[in-house]
Amino acid sequence: MTDISQLVESLVAKALEKELIQPSDAIYTRNQLLGILEINGFEENVSPNFDRDIPDLLDALTDDAVHRKIIDNLLDEREKLQALLMNVFLSKPSEVNHLFYQKYKQAPEKATDYFYQLSKDSNYIQTKRIEKNIQFKTESEYGELDITINLSKPEKDPEQIRRERELKQDFSYPKCLLCAENEGYAGRIGHPARSNHRIIEVPLEGEKWFLQYSPYVYYNEHSIVFAREHRPMKINRDSFSRLTAFVEKFPHYFIGSNADLPIVGGSILSHDHYQGGNYTFAMTKADDEFTFNLESFSDVDAAVIKWPMSVIRLRHRDRQRLIEAADHILKNWREYSDEDADIYAFTGNTPHNTITPIVRKRDQQFEIDLVLRNNRQTDEHPMGLFHPHEDVHHIKKENIGLIEVMGLAVLPPRLKDEMDDIKKHLLDETVNIAEYHYNWVQSIKERYSNITDENVQHIIEKELGLKFARVLEDAGVFKTSAEGRQAFKRFLKQL
């Protein structure tokens, strides 16, 4: 009993330390934890262990619950229990929103700082798992790219997968993982636990929208802004209005949207949502490659930036002028074809052209980046013509969404062990490397005459960055070559 009592008391003590609760809440929250864990007794004289953080304490309490057969040792069961335990320390949504907007009156940064810290302290943001990610920066001709090998999301074991298949039912609540109805939802096999989930109301242009943080953040304050209504994603004039309205409210954040078509869009196209945060990506730092004049919007600064994908950057102090200019470009791009550049707006009635927009405030101006996208598939490139081509699939073959567009690679977990093997191979150790990496590894050996223990890690990171730059070049509709830039200017002339 001493061990479990100490774990419970330590969790209460940590919640006090992080100001999730007040001292007068201690007995109440302890008893709530004991009830959830089905523990009847408690040793009151135990001393809390301050050396263990909240995620470790939750894991220990969950292991004990599994041992006592309170829950099965399945990922969803464990997460459901941990979310229930942390919900004990959280205020109701109305109280969280009230405090958020009290802090907002002082400064928008104070409000988001509070909510981000709350999301981490409550274990909604999976800080312990995120620490497993391999992250580094690497130089390229387009600036310093971010590389992440994603190791944070736990793999489901065969029993979990079997249970999901057995229990697969036609549930329509919540409709999807982004719906507001996830707030406080206990979870079930196949649907993540959200008891400790809170969302902030952020009305945009007369509509109900909400702010939350991603449970698996890829960058500082990685946030999700989503519509109250469950409706498909759509990029249009209203999107530009909402995006600029958001940065007017939160000028320290950028915000952007995945494209609204398959292949070039995000993973959840069924619910209208954006992603934002407090982070400066390589694309944000990109210089103007050349400027041009928008005839109907001569007061709007317009440029093509030096970036592997095809990006038009617009700047203006008046967000309404920016909305109008962006809408003008979107409408023209939706209908634009250029046979010489392999760009076709439609196949029959199927549309191919869309835009990935990103908005920020800089130097008292609104700034919007319009990344031109096309999702056409061909016999030579069945996964997408403007998608990572087959020779880079050994690194990345998934969709290039908003985060990658801005210069942050999210690479598959298999690369961790594969990169270790490649390093050994480059140092002439006997080891098997994956066949799909062979040509790449041989080219590295040919280009570097002196590979040592001291420089091999740097070489691997540099080469991964170069590959990711190639991935982005493949996704660019107008290439960075002289011919590609001429084709880009043909489109700009039409504007």
Over the Cα atoms of the chain, what is R_g? 25
User: Using CA atoms, how far apart are residues 323 and 236, in angstroms rounded to an integer?
Assistant: 10
Longest dimension (CA), the chain: 79
- The verdict on residue 178 lying in a domain is no
Question: Does one domain contain both 374 and 241?
Answer: yes
- The verdict on residue 149 lying in a domain is yes
SS (H, E, C) the chain: CHHHHHHHHHHHHHHHHCCCCCHHHHHHHHHHHHHHCCCCCCCCCCCCCCCCCHHHHHHHHHHHHHHCCCCCCCHHHHHHHHHHHHHCCCCCHHHHHHHHHHHHHHCHHHHHHHHHHHHHHCCCCCHHHHCCCEEEEEEECCEEEEEEECCCCCCCCHHHHHHHHHCCCCCCCCCCCCCHHHCCCCCECCECCCCCCCCEECCECCECEEEEECCCCCCCCCEEEEECCCCCCCCCHHHHHHHHHHHHHCCCCEEECCECCCCCECCCCCCCEEEEECCCCHHHHCCEEEEECCHHHCCCEEEEECCCCCEEEEEECCHHHHHHHHHHHHHHHHCCCEHHHCECCEECCEECEEEEEEEEEECCEEEEEEEEEECCCCCCCCCCCCCCCHHHCCCCCCCCCHHHHCCEEEECCHHHHHHHHHHHHHCCCCCCCCHHHHHHHHHHHHHCCCCCCCCHHHHHHHHHHHHHHHHHHHHCCCCCCHHHHHHHHHHHHHC
Read off the CATH number of the domain in which 396 is found.
Answer: 3.30.428
User: Using CA atoms, how far apart are residues 24 and 233, in angstroms rounded to an integer?
Assistant: 46
- The verdict on residue 164 lying in a domain is yes
Q: Which of 21, 50, 70 corresponds to the end of one domain?
A: 70
Q: Which of 44, 70, 96 corresponds to the end of one domain?
A: 70
Question: Does one domain contain both 376 and 232?
Answer: yes
Give the pLDDT score at 157. Answer: 66
User: Using CA atoms, how far apart are residues 39 and 36, in angstroms rounded to an integer?
Assistant: 8
Question: Does one domain contain both 400 and 483?
Answer: yes
Contact status, residue 474 vs residue 412, Cβ threshold 8 Å: no
Question: Does one domain contain both 234 and 375?
Answer: yes
Question: Does one domain contain both 250 and 393?
Answer: yes
User: Using CA atoms, how far apart are residues 204 and 202, in angstroms rounded to an integer?
Assistant: 6
Cβ neighbours, 10 Å, residue 289:
15
Contact status, residue 408 vs residue 396, Cβ threshold 8 Å: no
Question: Does one domain contain both 229 and 341?
Answer: yes
Question: Does one domain contain both 249 and 377?
Answer: yes
| Closest CA relative to residue 474, chosen from 358, 368, 413, 393 | 393
Question: Does one domain contain both 21 and 154?
Answer: no
- The verdict on residue 36 lying in a domain is yes
Question: Does one domain contain both 377 and 230?
Answer: yes
- The verdict on residue 428 lying in a domain is no
- The verdict on residue 319 lying in a domain is yes
Query: How many domains are contained in the chain?
Result: 2
Question: Does one domain contain both 157 and 59?
Answer: no
Question: Does one domain contain both 18 and 149?
Answer: no
User: Using CA atoms, how far apart are residues 180 and 210, in angstroms rounded to an integer?
Assistant: 8
Residue 368 CB contacts under 8 Å (≥ 6 apart), including other chains: 240, 243, 244, 313, 314, 322, 326, 357, 358, 359
Residue 135 CB contacts under 8 Å (≥ 6 apart), including other chains: 146, 147, 148, 149
Q: What is the pLDDT along the chain (495 residues), one digit of tens a residue?
A: 569 999 999 999 999 999 999 999 999 999 999 999 999 999 988 999 889 999 999 999 999 999 999 999 999 999 999 999 999 999 999 999 999 999 999 999 999 999 999 999 999 999 999 999 999 999 999 999 999 999 998 776 677 667 767 666 667 899 999 999 999 999 998 899 999 999 999 999 999 999 999 999 999 999 999 999 999 999 999 999 999 999 999 999 999 999 999 999 877 899 999 999 999 999 999 999 999 999 999 999 999 999 999 999 999 999 999 999 999 999 999 999 999 999 999 999 999 999 999 999 999 999 999 999 999 999 999 999 999 999 999 999 989 999 999 999 999 999 999 999 999 999 999 999 999 999 999 999 999 999 999 999 999 999 999 999 999 999 999 999 999 999 999 999 999
- The verdict on residue 458 lying in a domain is no
The parent domain of residue 315 ranges over: 128-171+208-408+478-494
- The verdict on residue 305 lying in a domain is yes
Question: Does one domain contain both 51 and 145?
Answer: no
Residue 487 CB contacts under 8 Å (≥ 6 apart), including other chains: 338, 340, 341, 343, 478, 479
Q: Which of 70, 88, 117 corresponds to the end of one domain?
A: 70
Retrieve residue 77's tokens: 């069961």
